[in-house]
Amino acid sequence: MTIVSIHQPQYIPWIPYFMKVEESDLFILLDSVDFQKNGLQNRNQIKTSQGAQWLTVPVSQKLGQKISEVQIDNQTDWRKKHWQSIQFSYSKAGAYKVYVEELMEVFSREWFSLNELNIYLFTLMLRWLGIERKMVRSSEMETKGNGSDLVLNLCREAGAKRYISGTGGHNYLNEIAFKDAGIELVYRSSVLPEHYPQMYPKAGFINSLSALDIILNCGQEWRKYMPGVQGGHDSK
């Protein structure tokens, strides 16, 4: 059975994004749809001594532009700002030294395409998390369309027998069309850790951050803190 999941590329995504990938045989990076301003495609949060802080990649974006077409606005030194924020916030984190060189290399490189930056970081984080899955970009596939039809047709092209959707899919997916196509539709809610060793305990535990937080704090031990995950504290 081929299990497929689909999501827009995001900047340093949170951990549920990666859990969806792990449950799939094939993950489709949905980069052929419109860029969403003020979404998570060009920003995410890390933890500082003051609590959650947004890191935003500035972009030069036109209305109706596809994610794969969006260019980064390099007029400001956002790379230096992001790297300094990560370095300052996590230099004393438990696993920081394991990943610092590769992470520093990302921010020392000049980037022009938001899509290329996001996919590079995503692939790097997948490796750090020990998740290996086949990936493809929707912009490299034949399928076109919108909404539920686009998702269904991507699944068909990928030979899916099961499609894993977030709970938001209830609002727009045509469940009858998936059934008629012989594709099982499965909804998954986002599962977040309830605790793990985290910097700045006085700021309180925050579980909705970029997965960089759990990676830099826990390293290869990250699974121990994921409910319902093999090796996690609530796994069955």
- Domain-embedded: residue 230: no
Q: How would residue 77 be classed by pLDDT, with cut points 50, 70 and 90?
A: very high
- Domain-embedded: residue 174: yes
Give me the pLDDT at residue 236, please. Answer: 28
Look at residue 171 and tell me whether its pLDDT is greater than 70: yes
Q: Which two tokens stand for residue 226?
A: 């994921």
Tell me what the mean pLDDT of segment 23-51 comes to. Answer: 96
Q: What percent of the chain has pLDDT over 90?
A: 91
Give me the pLDDT at residue 136, please. Answer: 97
- Domain-embedded: residue 20: yes
- Domain-embedded: residue 137: yes
Structural domain including 218 reads 3-225
Handedness of CA 202, 88, 9, 60 (dihedral sign): positive
Tell me what the mean pLDDT of segment 70-99 comes to. Answer: 97
Q: How far is CA 99 from CA 47, 116, 122, 217, in A?
A: 17, 20, 14, 11
pLDDT digit string, tens, across residues 195-234: 999 999 999 999 999 999 999 999 999 999 998 754 443 3
Asked whether the beta carbons of 219 and 94 are under 8 A apart, the reply is: yes
pLDDT digit string, tens, across residues 132-152: 999 999 999 998 888 999 999
Average pLDDT score over the chain? 94
Give me the pLDDT at residue 63, please. Answer: 81
Give me the pLDDT at residue 64, please. Answer: 85
- Name the more confident of 61 and 34: 34
Look at residue 186 and tell me whether its pLDDT is greater than 80: yes
| CA proximity to 1, closest of 32, 34, 29, 25 | 25
Give me the pLDDT at residue 145, please. Answer: 86
Look at residue 163 and tell me whether its pLDDT is greater than 70: yes
Q: What is the CA radius of gyration of the chain?
A: 18
Give me the pLDDT at residue 229, please. Answer: 59
Domain count, the chain: 1
- Domain-embedded: residue 186: yes
| CA proximity to 78, closest of 99, 47, 45, 55 | 55
Tell me what the mean pLDDT of segment 68-73 comes to. Answer: 97
Give me the pLDDT at residue 169, please. Answer: 94
- Domain-embedded: residue 59: yes
| CA proximity to 185, closest of 161, 153, 202, 201 | 161
- Domain-embedded: residue 235: no
Asked whether the beta carbons of 37 and 8 are under 8 A apart, the reply is: no
Residues 6+ apart with CB under 8 A from 91: none
pTM listed for this prediction: 0.94
- Domain-embedded: residue 234: no
Look at residue 194 and tell me whether its pLDDT is greater than 50: yes
**Residue for token digits 């990938």?**
21
